[in-house]
Amino acid sequence: MNNTTVRRVLVADDDPDILDLLTLNLECHGYQVHPAADGEEARALALQLVPDLIVLDVMMPKLDGLEVLAALKAHPQTREIPVVMLTAKASDSDVWQGWQAGADYYITKPFDLDELMRFIGYLQVNSAV
Amino acid sequence: MGRQPLGGQPVGGLDVVGQQMGGQPVGRLAMGRVTVGGIRVRVDAVAARVVLLAAAHLAVTATLNGLAVDDSINAAGMAKTLALTIAFTVVGVLPVNVEHGRHAASFTLVDAVLVVGFFLVPQPWALVVAAAMGEVVACAVQRQRLIKVVFNASAAMGAVTLSARTFDLLPTPDATHPATWGVTFVALLVYLLLNHASTSAVLMVVEGRRFHDLFLESLATAVAATAVCGAIGLSFVVLYAAAPGAPLLLLPLGIVAFLAFRAVASHRSEMLRFKRLYDASSNTASLRDIASTLSTLADEARSLAGGTIAVAAAPDSRGRWYGVLVGDGFGGPLRAETTKAIVHEAAHGSLEVPLDELPAVIARLAPGAKDCVIASSTGGAEAILLVFREVNDGHGAARADVLSAFAAHAALAASNSRLFEEVEASLRRQIDLHRQKDEFLAAVSHELRTPLTGVLGAVVSLRRLGDRLDATKRERLCELAERQGIRLKRLIEDLLLVAAAESGSAAIHLEPVEIGPFLAKVRAPRENVAVVIEPGAPRAVRTDPARVTQIVDALLDNATKFAPGQVEVVAAAAVGGGCTIAVRDHGRGIAPEDRERVFDRFVQLDQSSTRSQGGTGMGLYLSRQLADLLGGVLTVEETEGGGCTFMLALPDQPERAIAPESDTSDDEGRRVVTLTSAATPEEQP
């Protein structure tokens, strides 16, 4: 991991409390966090900032997480960015849909913060290599 | 002479004979021979072709006779012609029905009379006239339709002309000479083949079957019948040659044979009645919905009573009379007032009624009918059968008896159908309920996850981030956990209340509620909410204040959440008593297509703002359930000038608490049990 650059993370969730929770944790781990409250904002910010990592909630107004994911994977600038999907939908078919759409990680609410942070760290190490 | 050949196919033969035995000439065709069920309707479409066939026969007749109308006729010849005409008429009217095992045939003795004519009338054209006249009179007596009379008469003329010409090849007929008998049978064969071909041709036109098949189908029977008739005719002629009075010696034999045939026929007719009754019962024994059962019953009643249009009626699963009409190729449910008139008419028991004595509302169902037969079941189960008949042949009373026997079965079939419908409906309800439960569980689990994520996440963050959090961040996480915890608690409370409301077990405590003070109290903790009491609004209604508070609270929450600005609560008098409470906002409003959807569970038209406000997505759904429970109605409409207005109409409940069931009587005095719409979601519009 390259410690000299601050990793930038885009977090999108329509529930302000969840957004706050993720922001707090990521900041404490030394990330620079850019919050987005809906899908459209998330897509616009991703294209503008080209962050190192994106955390997307699936159920969001305007554009849902899967639509944002598809848009990001279709764009050459954002195609390579690792994406973690968050969802309160827990059925097998929902999870499968997420993986199919090209998510790098798929985690259901209520999520284990330790696991999520560990995985985000792992993704960062990999992309640094 | 005879002919008609019915025995080719056993079953068809039985049916055809049965109709003739019942004395019903509907559908008889071609020289009183073959009875074709349903010809009345179909002949219209093919009438032109039948007329063409008749014209062909007349052409043959005119050509062959035109060459030979040179003889004159004397008074004796006239008398003989007249006697033959009468004889043709009599045998035409009295068909002979013969059966053997499952085979049956019906023929007339026209061939025998024809043989007599060969010998007695020297001029072929006189014989042709006698045969044609006899046919016309016989048809008229049987009230055949004009097209049948024309065809039968023309076919008779053509066939008689050809056979008489054949017989005339014999220079000096000698009744006692066997050679003459041979020629006679040859002439009869000519008559048979021509007549059989005519009959097959008209059946081909009417039934659309192949001529070849029709011709061969009953040829053997026809030949046998003709042989018998020829022998009878020759016996007469031979006896006449011996002594003019001698044929009278055949009379006792004729009478005995006639009576024997009659006895067999009536026995056969009884058998057929049972067979038909049995068939009709079997055909209607399957389990189906009431409409198709009644339709089948009417159809069977039609064939039992020998009519073209029939009605079957029985009470449906709600106890209301339901009538279905069936005709040839058409049918459908009757209007309520028509069914009612039939029920009224059937109160007199099973009987035959001339059409002009029926109420117009019933008679107009079958304008072409002459009378109708009505039968109703007696005893517990109820069913009414009504058949319109096109003939008034004196068998109506007997048909009414058969129909009456069938009505008992019809009542049973109808009651089975009702049972079937009830079981099916209850099964469907069960499946629906099951599916809803599954969906509900999935939705609830989803809804619970979000606040749980908040609570758990905040607590875990506090532990795992420990020292890295300053006091402010620590406080933020605590508040977050508390907020999401409260949301979780509200969600669970709402869920419990919804479950109670849905099962109808939510307790309702009615008491007089004074509208003004009540609304003021509900409004109190909010800003930007104005209470308006319209003139005419009732001072108080009897309802459950706690439930109404929940509803109005939810509506105000909803309005302040989605439509910032002034919100009005307006109380007014409701149409039909009680009071309406309207919550009117001036926000963005709701698109018309979404207006009913807002009352569904967990529907959040704008999820982000719902979540930011900590809503559960169940407020409006719960409100509607509660409104139902109070006997009220909750709807949403557009506010004039934008925004939306939720309208709660509350009845003024009587002293007695809401009963789970209410009994009412419908206009016919039957007891109708109605379940109150205690919040079953599928009953929502």
pLDDT tens, residue by residue, B379-403: 656 899 999 987 766 677 777 888 8
pLDDT of residue B459: 92
Query: Is the predicted pLDDT of residue B35 greater than 50, yes or no?
Result: no
pLDDT of residue B561: 76
Do B143 and B219 have their domain in common? yes
Q: Do B606 and A61 touch (CB under 8 A)?
A: yes
Give A61's pLDDT tier (boundaries 50, 70, 90): confident
Q: What residues of chain B lie within 8 A of the CB of A88, using their CB?
A: 446, 449-450, 453
Do B562 and B653 have their domain in common? yes
pLDDT of residue B485: 92
Does residue B277 lie in a domain region?
no
Shortest Cα–Cα distance, A18 to chain B (Å): 6
Q: What is the value of pTM for the model shown?
A: 0.46
Measure CB to CB from residue B483 to each of A17, A38, A91 and give the nearest one.
Answer: A17
pLDDT of residue A51: 92
Pick among A22, A23, A24 to test the B interface (most B CBs inside 10 A): A24
- Across the range B45-72, mean pLDDT stands at 73
Shortest Cα–Cα distance, B564 to chain A (Å): 20
Shortest Cα–Cα distance, B436 to chain A (Å): 17
Q: Which residues of B462-475 are buried (b: 16+ CB within 10 A; e: fewer)?
A: beebeeebeeebee
How many CB pairs below 8 Å do chains A and B form together?
Answer: 74
- Across the range B157-184, mean pLDDT stands at 84
Does residue B395 lie in a domain region?
yes
Does residue B274 lie in a domain region?
no
- Across the range B165-187, mean pLDDT stands at 84
A123 neighbors A53 (Cβ within 8 angstroms): yes
The chain B residue lying nearest A110, using CA atoms, is B453
Query: Is the predicted pLDDT of residue B34 greater than 90, yes or no?
Result: no
Do B374 and B261 have their domain in common? no
Q: Give me the domain span that covers residue A78.
A: 8-128
Query: Is the predicted pLDDT of residue A99 greater than 70, yes or no?
Result: yes
Percent share of chain B, pLDDT over 90 = 7
Do B552 and B630 have their domain in common? yes
B415 neighbors B294 (Cβ within 8 angstroms): no
Pick among A14, A21, A23, A41 to test the B interface (most B CBs inside 10 A): A21
Does residue A3 lie in a domain region?
no
Q: What is the CATH number of the domain that holds A15?
A: 3.40.50.2300
Please, which residues have CB within 8 angstroms of residue B560's CB and are 6 or more apart in sequence?
Answer: B526, B528, B529, B567
Q: What residues of chain A lie within 8 A of the CB of B483, using their CB?
A: 17
Query: Is the predicted pLDDT of residue B125 greater than 50, yes or no?
Result: yes
Q: Which of B28, B55, B22, B51 shows the shortest CA–CA distance to B40? A: B28
Q: What is the CATH number of the domain that holds B455?
A: 1.10.287
User: Average pLDDT of chain A?
Assistant: 83
Q: Do B608 and A111 touch (CB under 8 A)?
A: no
Residue B316, both tokens: 């449906």
- Across the range A38-47, mean pLDDT stands at 92
- Across the range B7-13, mean pLDDT stands at 31
Measure CB to CB from residue B607 to each of A14, A17, A113 and give the nearest one.
Answer: A14
Do B68 and B202 have their domain in common? yes
Q: What residues of chain A lie within 8 A of the CB of B464, using their CB?
A: 25, 113-114
Phi/psi at B540 (nearest 5 deg)? -150, 150
pLDDT greater at residue B681 or residue B515: B515
Q: Do A17 and B460 touch (CB under 8 A)?
A: no
Q: Count of domains in chain B?
A: 4
Q: Do A113 and B473 touch (CB under 8 A)?
A: no
Do B414 and B448 have their domain in common? no
Q: Do A113 and B464 touch (CB under 8 A)?
A: yes
Residue A80, both tokens: 């390579």
Query: Is the predicted pLDDT of residue B206 greater than 70, yes or no?
Result: yes
Do B264 and B292 have their domain in common? no
Please give the Cα distance from B83 to B87 (Å, whole number): 6
Do B528 and B613 have their domain in common? yes
Q: What is the CATH number of the domain that holds B660?
A: 3.30.565.10
Q: How far is CA B428 from the centre of its chain?
A: 24
Measure CB to CB from residue B477 to each of A24, A61, A91 and give the nearest one.
Answer: A24
Query: Is the predicted pLDDT of residue B662 greater than 50, yes or no?
Result: no
Window A:3-22, CB contacts with B under 8 Å? 14-18, 20-21
pLDDT of residue B479: 92
pLDDT of residue A101: 74
Q: Do B608 and A14 touch (CB under 8 A)?
A: yes
Measure the CA angle with vertex B156, ends B152 and B159; round to 5°.
140
Q: How far is CA B213 from the centre of its chain?
A: 35
Q: What residues of chain B lie within 8 A of the CB of A108, using their CB?
A: 449
Q: Which amino acid is at B398?
A: A
User: Average pLDDT of chain B?
Assistant: 78
Query: Is the predicted pLDDT of residue A88 greater than 80, yes or no?
Result: no
Shortest Cα–Cα distance, A14 to chain B (Å): 5
Instruction: For chain A, report the end-to-end CA distance as a whole number of angstroms.
Output: 8
Please give the Cα distance from B471 to A39 (Å, whole number): 32
Q: Give me the domain span that covers residue B288.
A: 284-424
Q: What is the CATH number of the domain that holds B231?
A: 1.10.1760.20
Q: Which of B294, B281, B362 shows the shortest CA–CA distance to B326? A: B294
Interhelix angle B178-207/B146-168, nearest 10 degrees: 150
Interhelix angle B396-465/A113-128, nearest 10 degrees: 70
Residue A38, chain B, CB below 8 Å: the answer is yes
> What is the pairing mode between strands B96-100 and B103-107?
antiparallel
pLDDT of residue B664: 43
Please give the Cα distance from B49 to B43 (Å, whole number): 9
Q: Where are the alpha helices (DSSP H) in A3-85?
A: 16-28, 39-49, 65-74
Query: Is the predicted pLDDT of residue B68 greater than 70, yes or no?
Result: no
Q: Which residues of B touch A (CB under 8 A)?
A: 442, 445-446, 449-450, 452-454, 456-458, 460-461, 464-465, 468-469, 473, 476-477, 480, 483-484, 606-608, 611-612
Q: Which amino acid is at A110?
A: P
Q: Where are the alpha helices (DSSP H) in B349-395?
A: 360-363
pLDDT greater at residue B608 or residue B509: B509
Q: Do B461 and A59 touch (CB under 8 A)?
A: no
Cα four-point dihedral sign A108, A113, A118, A122: positive
Q: Do B453 and A88 touch (CB under 8 A)?
A: yes
Q: Which amino acid is at B226?
A: T
pLDDT of residue B536: 85
pLDDT of residue B680: 39
Query: Is the predicted pLDDT of residue B106 greater than 80, yes or no?
Result: no
pLDDT of residue B323: 92
Please, which residues have CB within 8 angstroms of residue B679's CB and are 6 or more apart in sequence?
Answer: B501, B502, B504, B625, B628, B629
Measure CB to CB from residue B457 to each of A61, A88, A113 and give the nearest one.
Answer: A113
Report how far apart, in Å, the C-alpha atoms of B138 and of each of B30, B95, B678 are: 12, 11, 71
pLDDT of residue B481: 93
pLDDT of residue B250: 82
Report how far apart, in Å, the C-alpha atoms of B674 and of each of A95, B495, B651, B652 are: 46, 28, 18, 20
The residue count of chain B comes to: 685
pLDDT greater at residue B29 or residue B277: B277
Beta bridge partners of B321: B315
Pick among B439, B444, B445, B450 to test the A interface (most A CBs inside 10 A): B450
Pick among B602, B608, B616 to test the A interface (most A CBs inside 10 A): B608
The chain A residue lying nearest B606, using CA atoms, is A61
Please give the Cα distance from B246 to B639 (Å, whole number): 107
pLDDT of residue B30: 36
B306 neighbors B389 (Cβ within 8 angstroms): yes
Phi/psi at B424 (nearest 5 deg)? -65, -45
pLDDT of residue B475: 92
Give A46's pLDDT tier (boundaries 50, 70, 90): very high
Looking at B28-37, B412-421, B448-457, which range is the least confident one?
B28-37
Does residue A1 lie in a domain region?
no
Q: Count of domains in chain A?
A: 1
Range ranked top by mean pLDDT from B92-101, B210-219, B395-404, B452-461: B452-461
- What's the pLDDT tens digit per position in B425-439? 899 988 888 887 777
Does residue A91 lie in a domain region?
yes
Window A:65-124, CB contacts with B under 8 Å? 88-91, 108-114
Does residue B383 lie in a domain region?
yes
Q: Do A17 and B484 touch (CB under 8 A)?
A: yes
Looking at A8-17, B354-363, B593-602, which range is the least confident one?
B593-602
Do B385 and B478 have their domain in common? no
Measure CB to CB from residue A21 to each of B445, B446, B454 and give the nearest one.
Answer: B454
Question: Residue B58, exposed/middle/buried by CB under 10 A (0-12, 13-18, 19+)?
Answer: middle
Give B165's pLDDT tier (boundaries 50, 70, 90): confident
Q: Do B453 and A111 touch (CB under 8 A)?
A: yes
Cα four-point dihedral sign B623, B629, B632, B635: positive
Please, which residues have CB within 8 angstroms of residue B335's CB and are 6 or more apart in sequence?
Answer: none
pLDDT of residue B663: 41
Q: What residues of chain A lie within 8 A of the CB of B446, using their CB?
A: 88-90
Do B625 and B607 have their domain in common? yes
Shortest Cα–Cα distance, B601 to chain A (Å): 17
- What's the pLDDT tens digit per position in B320-362? 899 999 988 888 899 988 998 888 888 877 778 888 888 888 8
Q: Which of B140, B111, B148 shows the shortest CA–CA distance to B35? A: B148
Q: How far is CA B317 from the centre of its chain?
A: 16
Give B673's pLDDT tier (boundaries 50, 70, 90): very low
Please give the Cα distance from A86 to A111 (Å, whole number): 8
Does residue A2 lie in a domain region?
no
Q: What residues of chain A lie within 8 A of the CB of B484, using their CB?
A: 17
Do B133 and B203 have their domain in common? yes
- What's the pLDDT tens digit per position in B629-658? 888 899 988 888 888 899 999 888 776 544
Do B527 and B675 have their domain in common? yes
Does residue B526 lie in a domain region?
yes
- What's the pLDDT tens digit per position in B472-530? 989 999 999 999 999 888 888 888 888 887 777 777 888 888 988 999 888 888 888 88
Does residue B3 lie in a domain region?
no
